[in-house]
Structure 1
Amino acid sequence: MNYVLLSQFEFTLENFNIINLISFTLVGLSLILFLKDNSLYNKVRNRKITEAFEENKNNILIEKCKLILFVVVLSLAIIVTYCTKGYVLFNVTMMTLSVLIVPIFEELFFREYIWNYLSNFIKSKSKIICITSILSGIYNIGYIDVIRNYVILYNNSSYTFEVIISKIMIGTVFGIVLGLVKYRFRDVGFCILLRSLFAIFIR
């Protein structure tokens, strides 16, 4: 998929990054659609969402925190988009992908589907947090062709290795934080908002 998209554009770092985001999103959405009717992923999910709703529906503080966080994320996204040099359309596209689409996909996939799938077999929440965090960290690398393209772009395999390791480490640390939030509040919406906030600061 990346090869087809890149063949239509000039091979630059900016085009490479935006095509990666599009590619990851399309693959991720396909996985979510494929897994959504699987009982191993949805059985626990439905029960936990219902429980979380019943426990939190009267908790005004939690809803206020989510609203405040949403306003902060939206405000920062708008400010960063229009303060970043370059084409406005490109900045808006990148911000939409990295702060909206990708966080929604990643958190639904790792902190919802994978989390609930593992809950069928693993009782320890700390193990589930570790596994989902490592998986999401590794996912940040991308596919094999992404690594090859990084080598071509940077023309330095050792530097590429450092970039890959840093992506894994950052993704894993973020995954642990988001896993703890998921465990504490049992609300993937919080995870999505925090993931969006992280995306703004690491741009």
Structure 2
Amino acid sequence: MKSRANYKEYILDSIFIIFVVQLARISIKFILLSQLNLSLINLIITSIISFLIVGTFFVLIFKDNEKFNPSRIKIINMLNNQSKQIRIIIGTIFLICLFLSIYFNDEYDIYNIGILILSIIIIPIFEELLFREYIWNYLSNYTKNTLIVFICITVIYALYQVGYIDIIKQYMQVTHSPGYVVDSIMISTTKGLIMGSLLGIAKIKLKDTSICMLLHGIFS
């Protein structure tokens, strides 16, 4: 193992990883959409499928890698007594938010159901495993300074939001939304910076990725 003082090159590795992940997701979604008409329903369905394929792929790659998953146990150990009460409380809040989202939704169609599944289940699990689990563990191998890991992960997570430009652009195209894609990306990146900071603090304080997933779902 190289000196911990050289952790900066591993930050570049992490940036490369998220670039590959986003590129793979965009490529898969593009292939799927090329066989379909561009519509809101097709956009959400192909997005869900692309997240599931890429997410499954990187879990299979990282799960037995000591640098990314050193404990070599299940990623989410829901039976662990540590932070159990906090997990139950946040889980209850999550379910209440989910119920309220469904209750106050005027239109109950495939698109809205898909958005709900994507935004509060698939993306939180996908992003928290990638950032607050795998990449967090990876960088922690090369620096014991938790603050450095926190700042790096938060900034990388915010930059990662730029990779969603395909979804944002296609959504605006289908719905004929006013405004510019760049503005939407800037807003998304700012939100990512804020949410990444809050989730990073939760990771440091509670050391539980499953709680980060639940909080991510609540924020969404």
TM-score, normalisation: structure 2: 0.72
Please name the residue that 1:180 is paired with.
201
**Mean Cα displacement is larger for which, 132-141 or 154-163?**
154-163
Structure 1 residues 76-95: aligned runs within 5 Å: 76-95=97-116
3-state SS of the aligned residue for 2:162? coil
- Residues 155 and 77 (structure 1), Cα distance of their counterparts in 2 relative to 1, 3 Å cut: closer
Of residues 62, 66, 91 in structure 2, which corresponds to 1:39? 66
Please name the residue that 1:11 is paired with.
38
Structure 1 residues 102-141: aligned runs within 5 Å: 102-141=123-162
3-state SS of the aligned residue for 1:122? coil
Please name the residue that 2:7 is paired with.
none
Instruction: Give 1:75 deviation, angstroms.
Output: 2.2
Instruction: Give 1:182 deviation, angstroms.
Output: 0.6
Q: What is the alpha-carbon distance in structure 2 between the residues aligned to residue 23 and residue 157 of structure 1?
A: 27
Contact 2:199–2:212 at 8 Å: present in 1 too? Answer: yes
Please name the residue that 2:25 is paired with.
none
Contact 2:41–2:111 at 8 Å: present in 1 too? Answer: no
Which is richer in helix? 1
Instruction: Give 1:188 deviation, angstroms.
Output: 0.9
Matched, 1:101 2:122: yes
Counterpart residue type for residue 195 of structure 2: F
- Measured against aligned partners, the alpha-carbon deviations of 1:29-54 in whole angstroms (never above 9, x if no partner) come to 311211112221122x459x9xx99x
- Residues 111 and 34 (structure 1), Cα distance of their counterparts in 2 relative to 1, 3 Å cut: same
Q: Which runs of 5+ in 2 are unaligned?
A: 1-27
- Residues 94 and 148 (structure 1), Cα distance of their counterparts in 2 relative to 1, 3 Å cut: closer
Instruction: Give 1:144 deviation, angstroms.
Output: 6.5
Contact 1:42–1:116 at 8 Å: present in 2 too? Answer: yes
- Measured against aligned partners, the alpha-carbon deviations of 1:77-127 in whole angstroms (never above 9, x if no partner) come to 123124313234433332122211221121111101000000011221111
Backbone CA RMSD of aligned residues: 3.1
Instruction: Give 1:163 deviation, angstroms.
Output: 0.6
Q: What is the alpha-carbon distance in structure 2 between the residues aligned to residue 157 and residue 46 of structure 1?
A: 48
Figure out how many residues of one structure are paired with residues of the other and give that number: 190
Q: What is the alpha-carbon distance in structure 2 between the residues aligned to residue 124 and residue 179 of structure 1?
A: 14
Instruction: Give 1:9 deviation, angstroms.
Output: 4.0
Q: Identity of paired residues, percent?
A: 34
Of residues 165, 177, 183 in structure 1, which corresponds to 2:186? 165
Contact 2:68–2:134 at 8 Å: present in 1 too? Answer: yes
- Residues 157 and 105 (structure 1), Cα distance of their counterparts in 2 relative to 1, 3 Å cut: same
